[in-house]
Amino acid sequence: MKSILFVCLGNICRSPLAEGIAKKLNSEYYIDSCGTGSWHIGETPCANSIKIASQHGIDISRYRARQFSSEDIARFDHIIALDESNLNDLKLLGATNAIKLGSFGYDNMDVPDPYFFNGFEGFEKVYAMIHDCVEQLLHELETK
């Protein structure tokens, strides 16, 4: 089974959304997410990510944050970073073929970090961007 790992900083806002969306769109891949940082290990996704996912029929409330490990490099076929800083961190950690989610149809843009957003505002845009890029990523993998 081919596998995809989505990586952000805390694994509580953006990459759990990417994981939930990818799992909903395609069941033929093993899909997981993690963070480069260790602050939130074991925590559930942030309340606003759980809420926006739930508004789109996706339950991410049981996900638990974990930290990226060098073992992930061999375990996953595709390692996808949510922003440039995650990508740079991954490359420093040895994931030299990691790619940025925004390269799939969003002009290589970073997915903004909603951790520092004021309340729920902005989560719909982040959700839409992640959804469109994940859809495009899956499409490109299927047609490769």
Catalytic residue positions, numbered: 8, 14, 113
Instruction: Give the binding range for ligand 4NP (CB under 6 A) out of 7-15, 67-75, 102-110, 131-139.
Output: 7-15
Helices (H), 66-110: 71-75, 84-92
* Binding residues among 17-46 for ligand 4NP as defined by CB under 6 A: 35, 39-40
Binding of ligand 4NP at residue 10 (CB under 6 A)? yes
Q: Do 31 and 3 contact (CB within 8 A), yes or no?
A: yes
Residue of 6, 14, 48, 81 interacting with ligand 4NP (CB under 6 A): 14
Instruction: Give the binding range for ligand 4NP (CB under 6 A) out of 9-17, 19-27, 50-58, 68-76.
Output: 9-17
- Could you give the CA distance from residue 111 to residue 84 in angstroms, rounded to a whole number? 9
Residue of 4, 5, 6, 8 interacting with ligand 4NP (CB under 6 A): 8
Q: 3-class secondary structure for 23-77?
A: HHHCCCCEEEEEECCCCCCCCCCCHHHHHHHHHCCCCCCCCCCCECCCHHHHHCC
Query: Quick one: which H or E segment has residue 131?
Result: helix 123-143
Binding of ligand 4NP at residue 134 (CB under 6 A)? no
Residues that bind ligand 4NP (CB under 6 A): 8-14, 35, 39-40, 113, 115
